[in-house]
Amino acid sequence: MTEIAFHFGAPDKLAYACRLLRKAAGSGANVLVVGDSATVSQLDTDLWALSPTDFVPHCQGLAEASLQKWAKIILTTSVEEAPRVRDVLVNLGNVVPDGFEAFNRLIEVVSTEGADRDLARGRWKFYAGRGYAITRHDLALKRAE
């Protein structure tokens, strides 16, 4: 069963996603990041803007299969755009991603904005209602430590 974790309280959702993906790339995990087209495009730009020592090898979901095979991190608007089996799915979107159950882990990144938190609560209820155990990571508490 897919392990689900919510990372709540990201003051800047995309900056947090960049750090998360940098860590994932260092661990060798295969990661698919899903979100709306504006979010995916901005994340792509943000990842390219990281310092050379923080480079995160990634590509868009519609890239050639050979590039997708090389990249450990794929950014997409739909899980179907990158059908290769993945270790981790990172959801930056507002809805439960179709096909999330095919992944070993799902990470939901939630900002501090009220609307984003409300939508995340709905996704939490969806997963919990289907019997998934959910881990909560409160980023505000980590910043306070």
Tell me the pLDDT tens digit for each residue of 34-82: 999 999 999 999 999 999 888 898 988 877 777 777 788 999 999 887 7
Work out the average pLDDT over 9-17.
96
The fourth-level CATH superfamily of domain 3-144 is DNA polymerase III subunit chi (3.40.50.10110)
| Candidate from 71-80, 90-99, 109-118 with smallest mean pLDDT | 71-80
pLDDT at site 95:
97
- pLDDT value, residue 83: 67
Q: For residue 29, what are its two tokens?
A: 């995990």
2: exposed, middle or buried (C-beta count within 10 Å: 0-12, 13-18, 19+)? middle
Burial class (CB in 10 A: 0-12, 13-18, 19+), 110: buried
Question: How far is the CA of 96 from the CAs of 10, 92, 125, in angstroms?
Answer: 19, 10, 11
**Cα torsion angle, 118, 25, 72, 128, sign:** negative
> Using alpha carbons only, what angle is made at residue 81 by residues 5 and 13, rounded to the nearest 5 degrees?
40
pLDDT of residue 143: 54
pTM, two decimals, is: 0.92
User: What mean pLDDT is reported for the chain?
Assistant: 91
pLDDT value, residue 115: 97
